[in-house]
Amino acid sequence: MSFSDDFMSVILSMESVLIIFFDEENGCQLVCNKTKLDIDATKSESWVDLFGDIVFEEDKESFFVFTNKISNGMRGNEDFVAISDDRVGVSVRLKKKNSVYSYHNIVCYISKDAGAYINKMTIVASEMTAEELYRLQLAQNVTNDRTPTMFIRVANEIVRQHPEKQYALVQFDVAKFKAINEMYGEPFGDEMINFFIESLNVLCTSNQIFVRLTADVFMIMLPYETSQDLLDFVEIVRTNLTGYKNIEYRLVFGISYIKDVNENLRKYGDRAALARQSIKSNAIEYVAFFEESMKQNVLSSKYVEDHMYKALENHEFVMYLQPKFDMGSERIVGAEALVRWIQPERGVISPAEFIPVFEKNGFVIKLDAYIWEEACKTIRVWMDNNIEPVPISVNMSRAHLKNDKHLNILDSLIEKYGIPKELLEIEMTETIEGDEVTQGIIKLKERGFTLLMDDFGSGYSSLNTLKDTQFDVIKIDREFLQNFVGSDRGKIIVDHTIQMTKSIGLDVVAEGVETLEQANFLIGSGCKIAQGFYYAKPMPVVEFDNLLDENRKK
C-alpha cells in the first residue's frame, strides 16, 4: 500500500493522530507518531500488544471490545459483516508523548463489496476538541439539576445553527438492566454503561447530542429528513452497543418527533419515554414511535393508581363467578372467581385496564387477598344456607411467591370462615419456573391446596412443564382452543394434549368454550369440565346463586 507524499505529510504533522489502513490485498499498515508499524489486525492480541502501554487502564476493556469487533470484521465474521452501518467507534484515553492521558475518538470507517463483505477499513484516532470533551462530561453524569440545563443549552445551540432542519429525540435503555447487575455485579454494569458512553461519543456527529438520563437510560437529539433516517440511526446504535463482552441483552428505543423546537424538550423526552416503555415487555419489537394513545394509556394508569386504595376501602372491587360445568351432565361443579371494578364515577372498569397496572406496582397482592376473602365468605354463606357448595378457584399472582405471607393469609381465612380447604382452589398462570416459584408451589401443595395451571398453551407450556409440575389441574387456554380446533391437525394436537395430560394423572378444564361444536369435540377427547360463554358468562354472586339453585333442581 502506498500513500501520496502530501497526504503522509499532513498525517505525520499531527501529533495526536494515528491512522490504520486495512484492505484485503495489502493487509494493515499503521501510521503513529511518525512511525510506520505492521500489525496483524485480524487478531485482537495484536491490538493489545500494540496499544497496551498507551491505553488508560480503566478504558482497556472498552478498547478491547472495539478492537475485537474490528478483528472479527477483518476475518470475515458473518455476524459482523452483516451490519448495516458504515462505522464503529469508541472513546478512550490514550497516553501522549508527554505521558499525559487525553481522550481520543477512535473511529473505524468501513467499506463493503457488493456482497456486503468488508473489503477495506480505515481507522482514525484523534484527540477530542474542547466541545467534544464538554459533551462527554455531560453524558458521563446521570441527569441532575445541572445536567438538563447543559443538555438543553447545547441542543438549543444546535437548533440555532441549523433552524431549517427537523429534529427528534431517541431514548433507549437496556431491558432488564437490574437483572444484568444481579447476574454479573454492579461493577460490570458500570463498565457496560461506560462502553455505551464511549461508543455514543464517537457515533454521534457534531449535530447529534446525547445525555445519560438515569442508570441505563440515554437520550439523543438528532436532525432527520425522514422516519427511515431515525430508524437507520437506531440500527447503528443498536449494532454498536450490543454484544458487550458477548453477553445477551436487548436495547429498547422510543422516538418522539420534536414538533416545535421552541417548546420545552422535557415534554418530547417524556413522549420518547412513553414510546420506549410501551414495548419494554415485547420480546420482538425494539423500537417504537410516540403515539397520542400512549399518553392516554398513561393517564388511564394514573387514574387507576390514584383511586385503587380508596376503591379497595369502599368495596368497589366486586367478585364475579363464572360457573364450571360437567359437560356430560351439564351440572355446575365449580366456579372461578373474577374481579370487576365498579367505580361510582366511571362505571365498570375493565380488568384489562387495572390488572396489568396492579401486577406492575404490586397492588395485586392486596387485591388477591381481598378476593380470596370474598370467596371464603361466599362458601360460608352457602354452607349456612344448606346450599351444597362447589369449589371456587381464586387467582394468585406469582408475586406472592416471593415470601410465605400468602400461606398465612390463606390458612387464616380457611380457619376464620371454617370452610373445607378443598373448596378454595388456587389458579396461577403458567410461566417459566425458577427456584423461587417452584418452592412456592411446593409449599402450597404441602398446605393441602388444589392447584390449577391457568392459560395452559398460551405461553411457555412444554413437555417439561407437564413432567415436573406440582399442579393438579390444567386449564386449556381459550386462545389455544380457538386457534386449534378449527383444523383437523389442530384438533389432533388438542386431543393428544388432553389425553397426555390425563394419562399422567392431571385433570383438565377447558376455558373459553363458546360453541356446541367445541363442547362435543372436547367431550370426545376426554375433557369433562369446561367454562365459557356457551354455558355461562361471569356473573355477580347473587345471579350465580340463582343459577346454582336452578341447576340443582334439574
Which position has the grid cell 359437560?
Answer: 327
Is the same domain home to 471 and 542? yes
What Å distances lie between residue 408 and 363, 364, 393, 413, CA to CA?
18, 17, 18, 9
**Rounded distance, CA 195 to CA 244, Å?**
8
Q: Using an 8 Å Cβ cutoff, are 124 and 19 in contact?
A: yes
Question: pLDDT per residue over 105-149, tens digit each?
Answer: 877 777 766 666 666 666 777 777 777 777 776 666 654 444 556
Does residue 297 belong to any structural domain of this protein?
Answer: no
Last residue of a domain, one of 258, 290, 322: 290
Is the same domain home to 336 and 284? no
Which CATH number covers residue 231? 3.30.70.270
Exposed, middle or buried by CB within 10 Å (0-12, 13-18, 19+), for 448?
exposed
Is the same domain home to 117 and 149? no
Is the same domain home to 27 and 51? yes
Question: pLDDT per residue over 163-212, tens digit each?
Answer: 889 999 999 999 888 888 888 888 898 889 988 988 888 888 878 888 88
Q: Please tell me the pTM assigned to this model.
A: 0.57
Domain span at residue 237? Answer: 131-290
Average pLDDT (536-544) is 95
Amino acid at 315: H
Is the same domain home to 98 and 149? no
Is the same domain home to 354 and 493? yes
C-alpha cell belonging to residue 442? 411446593
**Rounded distance, CA 135 to CA 140, Å?**
9
Q: Using an 8 Å Cβ cutoff, are 348 and 340 in contact?
A: yes
Last residue of a domain, one of 268, 290, 312: 290
Is the same domain home to 418 and 311? yes
Is the same domain home to 111 and 135? no
pLDDT surpassing 90 at residue 43: no
Is the same domain home to 136 and 102? no
Q: Which of the two residues, 537 and 150, has the higher pLDDT score?
A: 537
C-alpha cell belonging to residue 377? 365468605
Last residue of a domain, one of 128, 147, 171: 128
C-alpha cell belonging to residue 207? 449535530
Q: Which of the two residues, 244 and 438, has the higher pLDDT score?
A: 244
C-alpha cell belonging to residue 246? 458477548
Beta bridge partners of 224: 166
pLDDT surpassing 50 at residue 411: yes
- The full DSSP string for 279-346 is TTT-SS--EEE--HHHHHHHHHHHHHHHHHHHHHHTT-EEEEEEEEEETTTTEEEEEEEEEEEEETTT
Dihedral through CA 286, CA 291, CA 296, CA 300, nearest 10? 0
The pLDDT, as a whole number, for residue 506 is 87
Is the same domain home to 528 and 465? yes
Is the same domain home to 392 and 509? yes
Contacts of 35 (CB under 8 A, 6+ apart): none
Q: Using an 8 Å Cβ cutoff, are 27 and 38 in contact?
A: yes
Does residue 295 belong to any structural domain of this protein?
Answer: no
Which CATH number covers residue 326? 3.20.20.450
Question: pLDDT per residue over 419-435, tens digit each?
Answer: 999 999 999 876 545 56
Q: Which of the two residues, 539 and 467, has the higher pLDDT score?
A: 539
Contacts of 130 (CB under 8 A, 6+ apart): none
Instruction: Say how many domains are in the chain.
Output: 3
Question: pLDDT per residue over 215-241, tens digit each?
Answer: 789 999 999 999 999 999 999 999 889
Q: Which of the two residues, 10 and 97, has the higher pLDDT score?
A: 97
- Backbone phi, psi, residue 362, to 5°: 90, -5
Among 155, 180, 157, residue whose Cα is nearest residue 170: 155
